[in-house]
Structure 1
Amino acid sequence: MELRLLHYFVTLAEELHFGRAAHRLCISQPPLSVAIKQLEGQLQAQLFERSSKGVRLTAAGAHLLTKARQLLALSHQAAQETRDVAQGTRGHLRLGFVGSSLYRGLPQALELMQQSHPQVRVDMLEANSAEQIQGLQQMRLDVALVHSIQPPEGIASQLIVEEPFVVCLPEQHALCGASSIDLAELRHDRLILFSNLVSPTYHQRIYEMCLAHGFAPEVRHEVRHWLSVISLVSLGQGVALVPAALERVGLPRLAFRPLRGEHPHSEMLAMWRSAPDNPLVQALLVHMHQAARQLDSE
């Protein structure tokens, strides 16, 4: 059944007068009569009784009226929701994230997103950077928050956070009394490092920082999550070089100290498929930058 025919039918059912119904529809009466006959032919049912006293619905027509109103309402809703999705005010966003993003403004950005886009659902998946890139390529994710990594072809990227590495120490460590630490002072410490399999870029960056200061680090543990790194430090298993954002975790028995001198920074990037354009991705990026600025100002 054509929605046009149902619309004509509902209008006539409400007016029960061909002239008034045609006037509401901004058409002449003959096309309306033809449309109703066409609908009755498709349904093989008489919908109206016509007499000198006027027009009234048959039992079949009364039944169709309820269903037709539902179908037209659903059609209107589908059209409106489609326009909303196209305009970025409604929809479903699949977000991948690394654990450190929880301390780099992600919760605040999601709160801002909820306020500005209350009809958007955000589903979240924690995964390492490589897994997220694969999720983007396989269209299982719409946007990914990853550690510093080179985006593959077809994937766009934008820097969200850039911050220094700091030294994470167990609270009983001898260097806790220092206001800042030279990296070479850690040459005799066992290092807890982010896994090379999970984030080779980070692993290599920290390793090269140590080599640049004259020593190859003794790696005690390699783990998959930054929270695991600082948890092991708090248990006295070693020391670590971590993004400054992890100071916000609030884990006990830890001390954080800045590094002296110039060093590479820790980066978090947002990545998404270059095409087709997704307005919800762009909205989240705006809120991520806003949240990051708020954290910097605190």
Structure 2
Amino acid sequence: MDVRRLRYFLAVAEELHFGRAAERLHIAQPALSRQIANLEAGIGALLFDRTRSAIEMTAAGDALLPRARDILARVADAARVAKRASEGTVGVIQVGFVSSATYSILPGVFNRYRAAHPDVELVLHALNTAELRIALINRSIDVAFARPGIGDPEIVSEVVQREPLAVALPEEDMLAQQNHIALSDLSQRPFVIYPRHPRPSFADHILELCRREGFTPTIAQETLEIQTALSLVSVGAGVSIVPESASEAQLTGVAYRPFLGDAPQTQLSLAYRRDNRSPVVAGFCALVRDRRAR
């Protein structure tokens, strides 16, 4: 059944006049009559009674009318959805992120994206950087916020935020009385590092910073997430080096102090597959870049 012929049928059914229906459709009346005749032939039943001065609907026409309206409404809706999908304003996007990013730009990015694209479902996955790389390669996520980034020929990685590192330490630690802390001051402190696995990871970046300062830290605890690391700091298990934005997590028993002098930096990157052509992903990445530029 031709959708165009259904539109013609609907016009004739609503006008009950071939001439007016033809004018409404901007086609010649003989052409409209032929299309209706072809539709009737395809169905195997007359839709209009033409034996009287004014045409009337037959039983077949009456039965078809509500269904034709429903079909045409569905076709129009499908076209709207398809167009919006091509514009990236409807669909699903799978977003992976390292847990430390929840203290920095992620809440603002997610809130702004949801407000701008209410019909895109935002599905979130908390993973570490090594897991994010695997998930991108396997296409189980569309984009990732990784720290510091993801090195892979299949993946594009763009820095979206740079920020200083800071020290999270127990409030009763004597170093908490200082306004700034040198990394070397931590050489005798037990460390809580994250993530525990897989490696290499942010933990290895911290260990390398310590080695450059001339010491190898004592590892008291290794955790999977920054939240657990901070909880362990709060009970005196050790110190942890975290992104400065993590100080937003105001945990009882934890003090945050900046580094003395030029603080070591960390960066958060937006990563996505090089071959991803999804309009939804393109729109999400554009919003993140716009936020970075501000």
Verify same fold: TM over 0.5: yes
Structure 1 residue aligned with 2:33: 33
Q: In the superposition, relative to structure 1, how do residues 2 and 118 fare at CA in structure 2: closer, same or farther (>3 Å)? A: same
Identity across the alignment (%): 34
| Cα deviation code 1:224-245 (max 9, x no counterpart) | 1111111110011111111111
Q: For 1:98-137, what aligned pairs fall within 5 Å after superposition?
A: 98-137=98-137
- Give the match's secondary structure for 2:50: strand
Is the Cα–Cα contact under 8 Å of residues 18 and 29 in structure 2 kept in the other structure? Answer: yes
Is the Cα–Cα contact under 8 Å of residues 95 and 123 in structure 2 kept in the other structure? Answer: yes
Q: In the superposition, relative to structure 1, how do residues 62 and 199 fare at CA in structure 2: closer, same or farther (>3 Å)? A: farther
1:76 Cα deviation (Å)?
0.9
Q: For 1:67-146, what aligned pairs fall within 5 Å after superposition?
A: 67-146=67-146
Counterpart code for 1:167: V
Q: In the superposition, relative to structure 1, how do residues 197 and 207 fare at CA in structure 2: closer, same or farther (>3 Å)? A: same
Distance in structure 1 (CA, Å) of the matches to 2:196 and 2:209: 15
Distance in structure 2 (CA, Å) of the matches to 1:290 and 1:130: 27
- Give the match's secondary structure for 1:207: helix
Superposition CA RMSD, Å? 2.0
Counterpart code for 1:258: P
Q: Structure 1: any 5+ residue segments left out of the alignment?
A: none
Aligned length: 294
Q: In the superposition, relative to structure 1, how do residues 244 and 289 fare at CA in structure 2: closer, same or farther (>3 Å)? A: farther
Q: In the superposition, relative to structure 1, how do residues 199 and 100 fare at CA in structure 2: closer, same or farther (>3 Å)? A: farther
Is the Cα–Cα contact under 8 Å of residues 151 and 271 in structure 1 kept in the other structure? Answer: no
Structure 1 residue aligned with 2:192: 192
Counterpart code for 2:95: L
TM-score w.r.t. the length of structure 1 is 0.91
| Cα deviation code 1:58-95 (max 9, x no counterpart) | 12211211111111111111111211222233332221
Distance in structure 2 (CA, Å) of the matches to 1:29 and 1:290: 54
Q: In the superposition, relative to structure 1, how do residues 57 and 276 fare at CA in structure 2: closer, same or farther (>3 Å)? A: farther
Q: Structure 2: any 5+ residue segments left out of the alignment?
A: none
Instruction: Give the stretch that moved more between structures: 184-193 or 111-120.
Output: 111-120
Structure 1 residue aligned with 2:177: 177
- Give the match's secondary structure for 2:5: helix
Is the Cα–Cα contact under 8 Å of residues 163 and 265 in structure 1 kept in the other structure? Answer: yes
Structure 1 residue aligned with 2:17: 17
TM-score w.r.t. the length of structure 2 is 0.92
Is the Cα–Cα contact under 8 Å of residues 105 and 292 in structure 1 kept in the other structure? Answer: no
Q: For 1:114-263, what aligned pairs fall within 5 Å after superposition?
A: 114-262=114-262
Structure 2 residue aligned with 1:275: 275
Is the Cα–Cα contact under 8 Å of residues 166 and 259 in structure 2 kept in the other structure? Answer: yes
1:263 Cα deviation (Å)?
5.1
